[in-house]
Structure 1
Amino acid sequence: MIRFENLSVTYAGARAPTLRDVTAEVDEGELCLVVGPTGSGKSTLLGAACARVPHFSGGTLAGRVVVAGRDTRDHLPRDLADVVGVVGQDPLAGFVTDSVEEELAFGMEQLGVAPALMRKRVEEVLDLLGLAALRGRPLADLSGGEQQRVAIGAVLTAQPRVLVLDEPTSALDPAAAEDVLAALARLVHDLGVTVLVAEHRLERVVQFADTVIALDDAGHATAGPPAQVLATSAVAPPVVELGRLAGWDPLPLSVRDARRVAGPLRERLTTAEQIAVPERAPVGPAVHPQPALTARRLDVRHGDVHAVRAVDLTLRAGEVVALMGRNGSGKSSLLWAVQGQGPRSGGTVQLADGADPAGMRAAVARRHVALVPQTPADLLYLPTVDEECSAGDEQAGVPPGTTRGLLDLLAPGTGVDHHPRDLSEGQRLALALAVQLAADPPVLLLDEPTRGLDYTAKAGLAELLARLRSRGRTVLLASHDVEFVARCAGRVVLLADGDVVADADAATVLRDSATFAPQVAKILRPLPLLTVADVRRALEPVGTGGAS
Structure 2
Amino acid sequence: MEILKAQQLSFRYPEEDRDTLHELSFVIEEGEFVVLCGPSGSGKTTLLRHLKRELTPVGSSSGTLTYKGQPLSGLPAAVAAGEIGMVFQNPDAQIVMDTVWHELAFSMENLGLPPAVMRTRLAEICGLFGLEPLLYRPVHELSGGQKQLMNLASVLLLQPKVLLLDEPTSQLDPVAAREFIMALQRLNEEMAVTVIISEHRLEEVLPLADRVLMLEDGKLLADAAPRLFARQTGSGALTSAGRYLPAASRLYLSLAPEADSVAPENIPLTVREGRRWLHALMAGTDAAAGAELVNNLNSPAAETLLTCREVTFRYEKEGREVLRKLSLTLKQGEFLAVMGGNGAGKSTLLHVMNGLMKPQRGRIELAKGKTTGLLAQNPLLYFSYDTVAEELQHMGSYAGLTPEAAASEIEALLAVFQLREVLQSHPHDLSGGQQQQTALAMMLLMKPDILLLDEPTKGLDPAAKDRLAALLQQLRGQGISILIVTHDVEFAAKHASRCALLFDGGITAEGTPAEFFSSNYFYTTAVNRIVRDWLPQALTIEDVIRTWPASAYRC
TM-score, normalization by structure 2: 0.89
Counterpart of 2:248 in structure 1 is 239
Offset at residue 313 of structure 1 (A): 0.7
Kept in 1, the 8 Å contact 2:528–2:539? The answer is: yes
Query: Matched residue of 1:15: which SS?
Result: coil
Provide the rounded CA distance (Å) in 2 between the counterparts of 1:324 and 1:100. Answer: 27
Identity of aligned residues (%): 36
Offset at residue 424 of structure 1 (A): 0.4
Kept in 1, the 8 Å contact 2:494–2:540? The answer is: yes
Provide the rounded CA distance (Å) in 1 between the counterparts of 2:286 and 2:499. Answer: 26
For each residue in 1:244-283, what CA deviation from the matched residue of structure 2 results, as whole angstroms up to 9, or x when unmatched?
A: 202274321111111111236667996569x723345xx5
Counterpart of 1:449 in structure 2 is 456
Provide the rounded CA distance (Å) in 2 between the counterparts of 1:335 and 1:419. Answer: 28
Counterpart of 1:352 in structure 2 is 367
Offset at residue 499 of structure 1 (A): 2.5
* Equivalence map 1:426-445=2 (5 Å): 426-445=433-452
Counterpart of 2:302 in structure 1 is 289
Q: Say which of 9, 21, 24 aligns to 1:22.
A: 24
1:81 matched to 2:81? The reply is: yes
Counterpart of 2:219 in structure 1 is 219
Offset at residue 394 of structure 1 (A): 2.1
**Distance verdict in 2 for CA 1:272–1:298, change over 3 Å:** same
Counterpart of 2:547 in structure 1 is 538
Look up the equivalent residue of 1:532 and give its one-letter code: I
Look up the equivalent residue of 1:101 and give its one-letter code: W
Aligned length: 529
After TM superposition, the structure 1 stretch with the greater mean CA deviation from structure 2, 236-245 or 448-457, is: 236-245
For each residue in 1:200-229, what CA deviation from the matched residue of structure 2 results, as whole angstroms up to 9, or x when unmatched?
A: 111121111111101113523421201222
For each residue in 1:457-476, what CA deviation from the matched residue of structure 2 results, as whole angstroms up to 9, or x when unmatched?
A: 11111111211222222111
Offset at residue 157 of structure 1 (A): 1.9
Query: Matched residue of 2:326: which SS?
Result: strand
Look up the equivalent residue of 1:376 and give its one-letter code: P
Counterpart of 2:383 in structure 1 is 380
Kept in 1, the 8 Å contact 2:322–2:345? The answer is: yes
Counterpart of 1:256 in structure 2 is 272
Look up the equivalent residue of 2:53 and give its one-letter code: A
Structure 2: 5+ residue stretches without partners: none
Counterpart of 1:336 in structure 2 is 351
Offset at residue 128 of structure 1 (A): 3.5
Look up the equivalent residue of 2:310 and give its one-letter code: R
Structure 1: 5+ residue stretches without partners: 356-366
Offset at residue 438 of structure 1 (A): 2.0
After TM superposition, the structure 1 stretch with the greater mean CA deviation from structure 2, 184-193 or 406-415, is: 406-415
Provide the rounded CA distance (Å) in 1 between the counterparts of 2:528 and 2:378. Answer: 31
For each residue in 1:347-379, what CA deviation from the matched residue of structure 2 results, as whole angstroms up to 9, or x when unmatched?
A: 2101122x7xxxxxxxxxxx7111111101101
Provide the rounded CA distance (Å) in 2 between the counterparts of 1:268 and 1:422. Answer: 56
TM-score, normalization by structure 1: 0.90
Query: Matched residue of 1:318: which SS?
Result: coil
Kept in 1, the 8 Å contact 2:297–2:497? The answer is: no
Provide the rounded CA distance (Å) in 2 between the counterparts of 1:126 and 1:111. Answer: 19
Provide the rounded CA distance (Å) in 2 between the counterparts of 1:411 and 1:263. Answer: 42
Offset at residue 91 of structure 1 (A): 2.4
Kept in 1, the 8 Å contact 2:500–2:510? The answer is: yes
Offset at residue 537 of structure 1 (A): 2.7
1:38 matched to 2:40? The reply is: yes
Counterpart of 1:424 in structure 2 is 431
Provide the rounded CA distance (Å) in 2 between the counterparts of 1:268 and 1:401. Answer: 58
Query: Matched residue of 2:507: which SS?
Result: strand
Provide the rounded CA distance (Å) in 2 between the counterparts of 1:418 and 1:59. Answer: 13
After TM superposition, the structure 1 stretch with the greater mean CA deviation from structure 2, 473-482 or 243-252, is: 243-252
Q: Say which of 479, 490, 505 aligns to 2:497.
A: 490
Kept in 1, the 8 Å contact 2:187–2:193? The answer is: yes
Offset at residue 164 of structure 1 (A): 0.5
Offset at residue 440 of structure 1 (A): 2.2
Look up the equivalent residue of 1:20 and give its one-letter code: H
Provide the rounded CA distance (Å) in 2 between the counterparts of 1:511 and 1:377. Answer: 36
Query: Matched residue of 1:185: which SS?
Result: helix
